[in-house]
Amino acid sequence: MSEHALFPTLAVVLAAGQGTRMRSSLPKVLHQVGNRPLLGHVLAATAVAGIEQLAVVVGPDTPAVAEYVQQVAPAAQQFIQQQRLGTAHAVLAARPALLRHEQGCVLVLFGDSPLIGAQTLQRLRQTLIDGVAVAVAGFTTAQPGPYGRLLTEGGRLLAIREAKDASAEELAINLCNGGVMGFRADHCLWLLERIGNGNAQGEFYLTDAVELANAAGLPVVAVAVAEEEILGVNDREQLHAAEQIFQRRRRQQAMQAGVTLAAADTVYFSADTELGVDVRVEPCVVFGPGVQVEQGACIAAFSHLQHVRITAQPAC
């Protein structure tokens, strides 16, 4: 029997945030990068990573989010966070799923982080399979600024210190909290239920699980990931930044797969764009949703395509 069969994984995706800084009537997680909602990118990553079970926590006032999840991930369990009282409180909204998931791994993801990769999820899961009780995604940055700092010693993660609570020495640390966390299922609920709200905001913070786990003698580690993977989108500027990273990645993937981009920076992809080998794309092309281009086809400059299949054609 494989390791993954012995350690099935439940991903709990938090998608209940109001997103007031987006200044929009559209729920934050439904704003798009690469013509796919932010939440859709996270759900797609869980599918590619082979995560067996999925729970999505939505808000009480965002029926469009629930409808979208039902459309793209009908097997996902949905739970409503009736009050927004912090990240740990949000995860506990999925308590029925956590109670049923008695063994294996639990990954806590955020619906507004569209750049998370399947390989990162697999690494977090493997860390838990290897015996760690709590794993936290961390990234190194030259400008740690407002990020929470990861306090480590001898390969062990001791605590997550919020910037506003950090000492001068701790503020000099450039290993920061990426938010995404993993738990061994047999410790997850036990830790979550012991998180209190004795802080200035009166909220239940998921990050408090680190110190609770350490106090109980459980192994806790940080797993290094690329900073861009855990980029959260909270406003339009961050949405723009995520779009630029997505397009850069997608252009690189296309060229590495045998596609010629005559002026790569002027070509814009959708998340579901499919291009065969030896496709040539001339400058200033926009691939809208639902485009498939067969091997050897040429896409002429200034084309804007959507919901179409392009067969091989003579050279442009």
DSSP classification of residue 83: S
Q: Residue 314's pLDDT is what?
A: 62
To which H or E segment does residue 110 belong? strand 105-110
Distance, CA of 95 to CA of 190 (rounded, Å)? 11
Where do the domains of the chain lie?
Answer: 3-230, 257-310
Give me 6's structure tokens: 């012995």
At 2, the pLDDT band (50, 70, 90 cuts) reads: low
Q: Residue 4's pLDDT is what?
A: 63
Distance, CA of 254 to CA of 236 (rounded, Å)? 27
10 Å CB burial of residue 310 (0-12, 13-18, 19+) is: middle
User: Is 21 annotated as catalytic?
Assistant: yes
Name the percent of the chain lying above pLDDT 90: 86
Q: Residue 9's pLDDT is what?
A: 97
The catalytically annotated residue of 21, 156, 236, 248 is: 21
For the cut 80, the answer to whether the pLDDT of residue 23 exceeds it is yes
Please give the average per-residue pLDDT across 269-275, as a whole number: 98
User: Could you tell me the CATH superfamily of domain 3-230?
Assistant: Spore Coat Polysaccharide Biosynthesis Protein SpsA; Chain A (3.90.550.10)
* Burial letters 50-70, b for 16+ CB under 10 A, else e: ebbbbbbbbbeebeebbebbe
For the cut 60, the answer to whether the pLDDT of residue 1 exceeds it is no
Q: Is the separation of the CB atoms in 10 and 53 below 8 Å?
A: yes
pTM, whole model, 2 decimals? 0.94
For the cut 60, the answer to whether the pLDDT of residue 129 exceeds it is yes
Residue with tokens 């029997």: 1
Please give the average per-residue pLDDT across 108-127, as a whole number: 97
Q: Residue 198's pLDDT is what?
A: 85
